[in-house]
Amino acid sequence: MVAVPPRSPLTMSRSDGMGNIGRKQIMKLASTCVVSLIAFIIVFVSECGAYGNGTAEGKNTPAYLDTNLTFEARASDLISRMTLEEKILQMQNNASAIPRLGVPAYNWWNECLHGVARNGVATVFPQAIGMAATWDPDLIRKEADVISTEARAKYNYAIGKNEHGMYQGLAFWSPNINIDRNPRFGRGQETYGEGPFLTSQIGVAFVRGPQGYNSKYLKVVATPKHFPAHSGPETSRHYY
What is the dihedral sign for C-alpha 84, 111, 234, 186?
positive
Q: How many residues does the chain have?
A: 240
Q: For residues 149 and 211, is the Cβ–Cβ distance under 8 A?
A: no
**In the prediction, which pLDDT does 24 show?**
60
Which CATH fold would you assign to the domain 19-50+58-236?
Answer: TIM Barrel (3.20.20)
Rounded Cα distance between 63 and 78, Å, is 8
Burial class (CB in 10 A: 0-12, 13-18, 19+), 240: exposed
Q: What is the pLDDT of residues 121-149, one digit of tens each?
A: 999 999 999 999 999 999 999 999 999 99
Query: Does pLDDT of 70 surpass 80?
Result: yes
Average pLDDT over residues 156-170: 96
Q: What is the pLDDT of residues 41-62, one digit of tens each?
A: 666 655 555 444 434 444 588 9
**CA neighbours within 13 Å on the CB side: how many for 26?**
28
Query: Does pLDDT of 21 surpass 90?
Result: no
Q: For residues 143 and 16, is the Cβ–Cβ distance under 8 A?
A: no
